[in-house]
C-alpha cells in the first residue's frame, strides 16, 4: 500500500484542494450572476433604445454576428442539416414506419441538434471576436475613458452584444431548422427517394407547438448564455495583454460547458414532466 | 459658486488630503502615474469621494450628471480604437441621445475640427494613434461639451516638441475661453502645460515602479 495515502495529511490536503476549488467555482458563479444582473437591469430600463451610441454598437454587432455569418450558415445547412434530414428517411423506411420521419426530425434535428449547432457556431465565430475585442479594450484602458465620460460599460459594451447574440441566434436557429428540412426534402425528391409533398406532410405531422416553442427558447437562450460568459471573461482580462488569449480560451470553454449544462438540464426537466 | 471637491483619499500607499477647486482656478497634483489612475478610478467609482458642489445640490463623481460638467482628458486614452474620429468626439452626445445637444455638437464639430486641424481626418478609423492625436480628440470633446471643470492627466507628455508647442497653445486658449476650473494630475512639475497653477501639491510613493 502507498505509504503517502496512509498518512492522514494526504487526505487532508486533498479535501482542502477540493474545498478550495469548490469555493473558487462558487465565487465565479456568484460574480457571473452579478455581472448578468447588472446587464439585465439596463435591458429592463430601456434607456438604451434612446441612446444612438448603444444602437450603433447593436447594429454593428448584428451585422457581424448575423449577416456576415450567413455564408458559413448556408454551408452548414447543406453539409449538416440537409444531410441529416436526408439520412432520416432511409432509416424510417428500414423500420417500415413513415411516421418516424416527422418524429425524428422534430425530436432530434429541430429540438436538439439545430440549437446546439447554432450556439456552438456563434461561440466559435463571433464569440472569440467579442471576447478578444473586450479584452483589448480593457488593455488599452478604454474602459477608463468610458467611465470618465459617464458611459456605463455594461450598457455600452455588454448589453448590445448580448442582445445581438440573442436576436441573431434565434433567427439563425429558425433559418437553420427551416432550410435544412426544405433542402433535405428537395434532395430526397431529386434522388427519387421520396415525393417532396409527401415528405413535407410527414415532417408537418411530427411537428408540434411544444417543439417549436422549445426551439425558440433554446435558439434564444444558448447564444445569450454563451455570449454572457464570453463578455464576463473578456472583462476579466484587466490591463495585462497576456491575459487575452487565456480569457478567450476560458470564455469559449465555459460558454460551451454552460450551453451543454443547460441543454442537459432542459432534457432532464422535460423527462421528469 | 460651483466647486469640485474631494474628501481625503487613500491612493495605493499614500494619503491625499481633501481639496477643492473653484471654477476658473487651476490646481496641480504631482504624483506617479499609477496613483493618477487610482485617483481617476476612485473619482468615477460608486460611492465616489469626489463631488461637484452646485447651487442645485451635490453631484457625486460616479454618475452621468457629473461627467456632463466635469470632463476628463486622459494620457493616451482619448479614443476608442473601433470608432472613427468623428464618433469618438461625439461619443458623449451619441450616448446621451438628446437631439438638441446632438444637433449643436454636430454643427460645431466642423469648426472645432478646423481649428484643431483634424477636419480631413474625421472619418478615419481611430485604431492606434499618437499621444498628440489622443490629446487633440480629448480637447475637441472638451470644446463641444463646455464643462465647468476639466481633470487633465498628463496629456502634454510624450509628444514631439513641435507638437507639444502647438498643443500647449491650443490647450491654454481653450482653457481661457471656457473659463473652466482645472485639476492637473502630472508625474512631473515640469509637465509642459504652460498653465499657471494657483496651487501645486507633490506626492511621492515609498516605491516607484519603473
Q: Parse chain A into domains and list their residue ranges.
A: 1-45, 52-272
Note whether A215 and A99 are within 8 A (CB): no
Instruction: Indicate yes or no: CB of A148 within 8 angstroms of CB of B97.
Output: no
**Cβ–Cβ pairs < 8 A, chains A and B:** 68
Cα(B15)–Cα(B49) distance, rounded to whole angstroms?
A: 13
How many domains are there within chain B?
1
Contacts of B96 in chain A (CB under 8 A): 51
* The model's pTM: 0.88
Q: Which of A34, A50, A53 is most worth mutating to test chain B (most B CB atoms within 10 A of its CB)? A: A53
Put simply, whether B98 touches A (Cβ < 8 Å) is: no
Note whether A136 and A186 are within 8 A (CB): no
Exposed, middle or buried by CB within 10 Å (0-12, 13-18, 19+), for A131? Answer: buried
Domain contains B196: yes
Least confident interval from A158-172, A181-195, B114-128: A181-195
**pLDDT value at residue A4:** 67
Domain contains B23: yes
Put simply, whether A142 touches B (Cβ < 8 Å) is: yes
Q: Return the residue matching grid coordinates 480604437.
A: B81
**pLDDT value at residue B45:** 84
**pLDDT value at residue A238:** 81
Cα(A253)–Cα(A111) distance, rounded to whole angstroms?
A: 23
Please give the residue range of the domain that contains residue B64.
Answer: 3-77+131-209
Averaged pLDDT, A144-171: 94
Low-confidence ranges of chain B (pLDDT < 50): 206, 210
In this predicted structure, the answer to whether residue A1 has a pLDDT above a threshold of 60 is no
**pLDDT value at residue A89:** 82
Output the average pLDDT for chain A: 90
- Terminal-to-terminal C-alpha distance of chain A: 48
- A140 — phi, psi (to 5°)? -75, -5
Averaged pLDDT, A13-24: 90
Q: What CATH code is carried by the domain that includes residue B26? A: 3.40.50.300
CA distance B70 to chain A (A): 9
B200, three cell numbers: 501645486
In this predicted structure, the answer to whether residue A259 has a pLDDT above a threshold of 90 is yes
Note whether B54 and B4 are within 8 A (CB): no
Instruction: Indicate yes or no: CB of A50 within 8 angstroms of CB of B97.
Output: yes
Put simply, whether A129 touches B (Cβ < 8 Å) is: no
Q: Closest by alpha carbon to A220, among A176, A272, A173, A269? A: A173
**pLDDT value at residue B208:** 55
Cα(B12)–Cα(A238) distance, rounded to whole angstroms?
A: 17
In this predicted structure, the answer to whether residue A142 has a pLDDT above a threshold of 50 is yes
Instruction: Indicate yes or no: CB of A136 within 8 angstroms of CB of B81.
Output: yes
Output the average pLDDT for chain B: 89
In this predicted structure, the answer to whether residue A5 has a pLDDT above a threshold of 70 is no
Averaged pLDDT, A104-131: 90
Under the banding of pLDDT at 50, 70 and 90, the label for residue A100 is confident
Domain contains B36: yes
Instruction: Indicate yes or no: CB of A151 within 8 angstroms of CB of B92.
Output: yes
In this predicted structure, the answer to whether residue A112 has a pLDDT above a threshold of 50 is yes
Put simply, whether B7 touches A (Cβ < 8 Å) is: no
**pLDDT value at residue B144:** 95
Where are the alpha helices (H) located in A191-208, listed in sequence order? 196-206
Instruction: Indicate yes or no: CB of A50 within 8 angstroms of CB of B87.
Output: no
**pLDDT value at residue B47:** 81
Residue A194 CA, chain-centre distance (Å), reads: 34
Domain contains B60: yes
Contacts of B141 in chain A (CB under 8 A): 149
**pLDDT value at residue A126:** 92
pLDDT digits (tens, 9 = 90+) for A192-250: 888 888 888 888 888 888 889 999 999 999 999 999 999 999 988 888 888 899 999 99
Contacts of A137 in chain B (CB under 8 A): 80-81
Amino acid at each position: 500500500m502507498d505509504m503517502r495515502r496512509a498518512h492522514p495529511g494526504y487526505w487532508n490536503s486533498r479535501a482542502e484542494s477540493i474545498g478550495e476549488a469548490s469555493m473558487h467555482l462558487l465565487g465565479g458563479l456568484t460574480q457571473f450572476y452579478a455581472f448578468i444582473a447588472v446587464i439585465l437591469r439596463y435591458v429592463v430600463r430601456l434607456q438604451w433604445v434612446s441612446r444612438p451610441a448603444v444602437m450603433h454598437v447593436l447594429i454593428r454587432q448584428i451585422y457581424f454576428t448575423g449577416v456576415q455569418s450567413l455564408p458559413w450558415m448556408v454551408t452548414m445547412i447543406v453539409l449538416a442539416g440537409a444531410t441529416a434530414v436526408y439520412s432520416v428517411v432511409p432509416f424510417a423506411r428500414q423500420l417500415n414506419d413513415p411516421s418516424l420521419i416527422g418524429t425524428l426530425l422534430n425530436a432530434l434535428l429541430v429540438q436538439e441538434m439545430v440549437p446546439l449547432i447554432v450556439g456552438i457556431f456563434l461561440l466559435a465565430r463571433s464569440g472569440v471576436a467579442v471576447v478578444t475585442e473586450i479584452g483589448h479594450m480593457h488593455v488599452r484602458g478604454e474602459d477608463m475613458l468610458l467611465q470618465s465620460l459617464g458611459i456605463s460599460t455594461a450598457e455600452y459594451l455588454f448589453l448590445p452584444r448580448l442582445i445581438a447574440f440573442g436576436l441573431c441566434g434565434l433567427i439563425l436557429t429558425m433559418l437553420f431548422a427551416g432550410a435544412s428540412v426544405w433542402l433535405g426534402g428537395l434532395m430526397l425528391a431529386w434522388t427519387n427517394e421520396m415525393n417532396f409533398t409527401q415528405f413535407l406532410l410527414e415532417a408537418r405531422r411530427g411537428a408540434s407547438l411544444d417543439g417549436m416553442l422549445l426551439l425558440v427558447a433554446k435558439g434564444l437562450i444558448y447564444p445569450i448564455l454563451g455570449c454572457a460568459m464570453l463578455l464576463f471573461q473578456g472583462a476579466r482580462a484587466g490591463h495585462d495583454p497576456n491575459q487575452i488569449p487565456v480569457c478567450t480560451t476560458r470564455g469559449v470553454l465555459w460558454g460551451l460547458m454552460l450551453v451543454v449544462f443547460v441543454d442537459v438540464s432542459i432534457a432532464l426537466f422535460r423527462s421528469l414532466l | 459658486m460651483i466647486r469640485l471637491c474631494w474628501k481625503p483619499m487613500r491612493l495605493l500607499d499614500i494619503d491625499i488630503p481633501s481639496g477643492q477647486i473653484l471654477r476658473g482656478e487651476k490646481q496641480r497634483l504631482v504624483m506617479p502615474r499609477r496613483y493618477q489612475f487610482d485617483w481617476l478610478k476612485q473619482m468615477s467609482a460608486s460611492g465616489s469621494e469626489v463631488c461637484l458642489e452646485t447651487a442645485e445640490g451635490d453631484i457625486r463623481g460616479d454618475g452621468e450628471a457629473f461627467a456632463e460638467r466635469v470632463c476628463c482628458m486622459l494620457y493616451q486614452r482619448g479614443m476608442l480604437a473601433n470608432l472613427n474620429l468623428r464618433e469618438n468626439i461625439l461619443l458623449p452626445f451619441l450616448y446621451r441621445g438628446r437631439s438638441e445637444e446632438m444637433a449643436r455638437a454636430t454643427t460645431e464639430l466642423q469648426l472645432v475640427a478646423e481649428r484643431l486641424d483634424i477636419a480631413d481626418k474625421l472619418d478615419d478609423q481611430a485604431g492606434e494613434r499618437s499621444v498628440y492625436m489622443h490629446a487633440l480628440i480629448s480637447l475637441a470633446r472638451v470644446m463641444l461639451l463646455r464643462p465647468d471643470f476639466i481633470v487633465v492627466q498628463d496629456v502634454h507628455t510624450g509628444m514631439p516638441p513641435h507638437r507639444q508647442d502647438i498643443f500647449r497653445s491650443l490647450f491654454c486658449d481653450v482653457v481661457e475661453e471656457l473659463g473652466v476650473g482645472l485639476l492637473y494630475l502630472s508625474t512631473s512639475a515640469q509637465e509642459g502645460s504652460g498653465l499657471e497653477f494657483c496651487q501645486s501639491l507633490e506626492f511621492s510613493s515609498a516605491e516607484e515602479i519603473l
